[in-house]
Amino acid sequence: GLGSLIASVVVLWALVAMLLPIPSVSEAAINAYADGVGKAWYGDANGAIADFDRALSIRPNYANALYERGNAYYYNGDYQSSLINYESALSAGRADTNVGWNIGWNYYMLGRFDEAINMDRRVLEQDPSLLGVQFNLALSLMARGDFSEAEAEYYKGVNEAVAEVTKAHE
């Protein structure tokens, strides 16, 4: 009986998996994205933005193109546009720590310290080993005026860094 139940669940799952469309990105969108990544690599942020715009005109919720366009806007010093793109990448399904880290930093750059603190804490819940985020959290706390909490977070990061170096030496 249990075997039949398991077999039924597996068959049902297989049918659902076969019937649901597999999300795909067209070759044209991938090529535009790749062109943008190449231009960004060579420091042409404006050219990269144009290519990411082209990729997004083909596939509007292309999370990686949104993320990379956010990077290009950041390098141009347009933190508001950068933030919008990172938040859009997050909404489109790219929920990794890099996105959260960049969102938190853009909040900081825009003087939105409470939001920076909240995002940094969310990222650290996902991966407590990200020392850069730990120090960004301390910086945001300090900018907000919470000096004792900032100091505690800073020393937490320093102690983690010391532990990592010690572990590497062993």
pLDDT tens across 78-116, in order?
999 999 999 999 999 999 999 999 999 999 999 999 999
Q: Identify the pLDDT of residue 169.
A: 93
Q: Supply the DSSP string of the chain, one letter for each residue.
A: -HHHHHHHHHHHHHHHHHHSPPP---HHHHHHHHHHHHHHHTT-HHHHHHHHHHHHHHSTT-HHHHHHHHHHHHHTT-HHHHHHHHHHHHHTT--SHHHHHHHHHHHHHTT-HHHHHHHHHHHHHH-TT-HHHHHHHHHHHHHHT-HHHHHHHHHHHHHHHHHHHHHHH-
What's the average model confidence in pLDDT over 103-132?
97
Q: Identify the pLDDT of residue 114.
A: 98
Q: What's the pTM? A: 0.84
Whether residue 30 has pLDDT greater than 80: yes
State how far the Cα of 100 lies from the Cα of 65, in Å rounded to an integer: 16
Q: Identify the pLDDT of residue 11.
A: 86
What's the average model confidence in pLDDT over 51-59?
98
Model confidence at 42, in pLDDT bands (50, 70, 90)? Answer: very high
What's the average model confidence in pLDDT over 141-168?
95
State how far the Cα of 85 lies from the Cα of 98, in Å rounded to an integer: 13
